[in-house]
Structure 1
Amino acid sequence: MSILLTCRVTIGDIVYTKISGFDSESSWKNLGDTATLKLYGFCTVLASDDDTEGTVQALEDLVQVGDPVTVELGYDGELHTEFQGYVAEIKLTIPFELRLEDGYFNLKRTRVNRSWKNTTLRKLLADLVPTAILSPSIPDMRIDTFRADRTTTAGVLKKLKDDYPGLCAYFRDGRLFVGLTYTEFTSTSGVEAALALYSFQQNIVDDNLTYQRKEDVHIKAKVVAMHQNGKRTTTEAGDVDGEERTITLRTETKDKTVLKLLAEAELAKFKYDGYRGDFTGFGVPRIIHSGVADLLDTKHPQRSGRYLVDAVGISFGPEGYRRKVTLGKRSSH
C-alpha cells in the first residue's frame, strides 16, 4: 500500500498542486511564523475561454510581494492547512523561491506613534488591530502606562514582550494572541492539533532527545512580579549556576522573600524527570506549538509522558512530509 503526498498551494488567484519544497517554523518564542516555498519556475495560465489554450508564464510575472498565501498539505488527498500568510520576498533562483510570513507581515507595515494610560492589554491591542483578528483568549491584563514612539504595530508587540517578561505574541489561524506562555488554551480538548500521540516505536522517525532527572536540572530565574497597577517588582531565584529563565508572577506582594518562594514553586515545574530536545515525526499526527505532545515508550514505560510544545517545524517535498517537534516543560494536563 503506497501513500501519496498531496498538496494545494494558493497564491492570490493561482493554485498549485505540485511544488518543489516547503519548510516552515512556528513557535511561541517568535512574533511570527515564517516559511520557504519552492516552486517550479513556470506555470500554465488557462484562458477564460475554455476553447483557448492556456499560456505558459514565468512565476515572477505572476507573483508579487504581499500576495496572500495558503499552504495545504497531506496524504492521499486529505489536506490540512499548514500555513496562512503573505509573500514577503521573492528569490529568482532555481527552483523559484518565496519567503513567506504570517499575519505579522502586515503588522510591520502599520505605523504607530502614541501612548496609553490606565488601560488593559486587550484595549491597547484593539487600538492597533481590528478586533476581529484578536484572539478571545487575550487576558485583560492591567497596563498602567505604555508609550510607542515612531514604531510599527510589530514594534509595539516586541516592546510589550520586552517590558513584560513572560508575554508571548503570535498568530494562530489568522488571529493574534498576546498573553502568558502556554495560556492560549484552557484545555486541549476540541482544539484541532492541540494534542497528539507519538510513540517511539511507531511514528517517531528520529529524535534529538535527552532524558534528565530533576536533580540534575539547574535553573536560575529572573523573577518579575506584575502588580495590578502596572508596576513590577523583580528579584532572582533558583540555582546560581543554572540555565537562565524568566518567571512572571501575577501577584500584589512586593516582599522579595515571598516572591522567591513563589518562584521556586514555579521553577519546580521545570525540574522533572523527562525529555529535553526535539524529535521528528511524519506529517500526521498534526501538532501545534503551545499544544501537548503525548509521548509513549513501550520499551521504557516510565519515560512516557506529556509535554508542552515550544516549536514545530514542517518540511514537505520529494524526501517526504515531516514534522519536527521541540519540547517544552512537562505538562500537567
Structure 2
Amino acid sequence: MLRLSSEVEIQGSKTWIFHELASCSIIEDVATLTDTCELLLPKKVKWEGAEGFSLPIKRGDKIIVKLGYDDNLKTRFVGYIRTIDNKNPVKILCEDGMFLLKTTQTKKKGYKNTTLKQVITDLLEGTGIQVQLVDEDIELRHYRILKDTVAEELNEMKSTYGLRAYFRTVNDVSKLYVGLGYPFDDRRNESFIYGKNLISEDFVYRIAEDVKIKVKAISIDSKNKRFELEVGDKDGEVYTIFHDNLTPEGLRLFAESELKRFKTTGFKGSFETFGEPFVSKCDITRVEASDNNKGNFLNKKVETSSGMNGFRQKIEIGQPLKVE
C-alpha cells in the first residue's frame, strides 16, 4: 500500500522544514490571477527556539510544498504565506507569486507605441520574477500604466485585451506566464482511464452544433483606434481574443474562424484521480471516459488535496486538442 509523503519548507527568519501535514489543499486555475494553498498542520508541532505561544513564521514568508507517495516527492506549490490562524491546529493560507505583485507598486507610464513584452518588462523591473510570454510579442500600441499595483495592471490587461496572467511552477521554479492562449513549453502528457486511474467523472458530451460559445474579439489599429465585436451565442461561454491592426471586417472574419475552432464535438467537465500521475494546469490530459469517449485536452484547473481522505486530484479539462 502506498504511503502518503510530504515536505513543507518555510523560509523566514530561519528555514523550517517539516514532513507531516494534517491536510493540504491546492487550487490552480488559468482563469484566475492567483493560485492558492491551504495547509493544516498537525496538532503537535514544535517550533525550535519559539517562545511562548507565538509562531516564528509570518505573512510574506516563502513556502514550498512537496507531495507524493513513499518519499517520492514533487513540488506542488511555490508561494508565500498570506494569513496564519494560530489556533491549534495551525492553519496557513498561501498564495503563489501573485502575492508579491499585489503589493508591488507600478511606475505610472505612458507609451506611444509599445509591445506586451516591453510593458511586462517594465512592470516586473526589480522584482526578480521570471516571465514567459505565451504568444509571439503582441503589439499594444498606445498604452498607459494607470493601476497602483502590478497585479491590478495585469487584471486590467485581462479585461481590456483578454490577456491571461498566471504563475506556473516549472522545474521547481515559479514563473509568470502572460498571453492569450495556453503555453506550449514544459507540458506533461498523462493518460487517465476509467476503471484504472480515473476514480470518478462529471462529464457532459456535446456535439459541436449544441455547444454555446460567444467570442469577444478586440483589435487596435495603427492609429490606436479600438474595434470590438461579438459573434456566436448571446448566452454562451465567453472566449476573448485579440489581434492587432485588423479592420472591422477582418476582425469579424477572424472571430468567426475562431468560433468554429472553439465549437468542437467532445465532452466538458471534470474528473477525480489519484495524486499520481502528477499534473498541473496547462498540461495535456488524455481521458478515456466510462462511455468509451476519448480525447486529449488541456488542463484548465487542478485541485489537489492530501490528508486523512487520501491523495487526490480533481482536474477540469479545458480546450480539446483531439477527440475520438
Give the Cα separation in 1 of the matches to 2:147 and 2:214. 35
Following superposition, the deviation at residue 312 of structure 1 comes to 0.7
1:237-267 C-alpha deviation (Å, 9 max, x unpaired)? 1134x414134142533133x4333222211
Residue of structure 1 aligned with 2:241, choices 234, 242, 248: 248
Distance 1:206 1:93, change over 3 A: farther
**Higher mean C-alpha deviation, range 276-285 or range 246-255:** 246-255
CA contact (8 A) 1:222 1:234 kept: yes
Q: State which of 136, 142, 154 in structure 1 corresponds to 2:139.
A: 142
Aligned pairs for 1:7-156 (under 5 A) are 7-12=6-11, 13-45=15-47, 60-117=54-111, 118-130=113-125, 133-138=129-134, 139-149=136-146, 151-156=148-153
Task: Report the TM-score, using the length of structure 2 for normalisation.
Answer: 0.88
Contact 2:43–2:88 (CA under 8 A) maintained in structure 1: yes
> Does residue 164 of structure 2 align to residue 168 of structure 1?
yes
Asked if structure 2 preserves the Cα contact closer than 8 Å seen for 1:42 and 1:56, the reply is no
Runs (4 or more) in structure 1 with deviation over 6 Å come to: 55-59
Contact 1:41-1:96 within 8 A present in 2 as well: yes
SS of the aligned residue for 1:264 comes to helix
Mind listing any 5+ residue stretches in structure 2 that lack a counterpart?
A: none
Query: Which amino acid is 1:122 matched to?
Result: K
Query: CA 1:26/1:83 → structure 2, altered by over 3 Å: closer, same or farther?
Result: same
Q: What is the Cα deviation at residue 205 of structure 1?
A: 1.1
1:321 aligns with 2:314: no
C-alpha deviation, 1:318, in angstroms = 1.1
* Mapped contact 1:42–1:57 kept (Cα < 8 A): no
- Give per-residue Cα distances to partners, 1:81-107, cap 9 Å, x unaligned: 000001000113342101101111111
Local SS of the residue matching 1:19: coil
Residues in 2 aligned to 1:306 and 1:58: alpha-carbon distance in whole angstroms: 54
Query: Quick one: distance in 1 between partners of 2:152 and 2:301?
Result: 22
Alignment partners' CA distance in 1, 2:52 and 2:5: 23
The letter for the 2-side match of 1:16 is F
- C-alpha distance in 2, partners of 1:308/1:135? 21
SS for the counterpart of 1:269 is helix
Deviation, structure 1 residue 219: 2.0
Identify if the C-alpha distance between structure 1 residues 68 and 304 changes in structure 2 by more than 3 Å, giving closer, same or farther: same
Q: Paired residue for 2:207, among 205, 209, 213?
A: 213
Change (3 A) 1:317 1:251: same
Stretches of structure 1 lacking an aligned partner (at least 5 in a row): 47-54
- Once the two structures are TM-superposed, the CA of residue 202 in structure 1 deviates from its matched residue by 0.8
Among candidates 292, 295, 298, match of residue 287 of structure 2:
295
Alignment correspondent of 2:228 = 234
Which amino acid in the other structure matches residue 175 of structure 1? Answer: K
Across the aligned residues of Structure 1 and Structure 2, the Cα RMSD in angstroms comes to 2.3
What does residue range 244-283 of structure 1 map to in structure 2 within 5 Å?
A: 244-256=237-249, 258-283=250-275
- Aligned in 2, Cα 1:150/1:199: closer, same or farther, shift over 3 Å? closer
In 2: Cα distance, 1:116 partner to 1:41 partner: 53
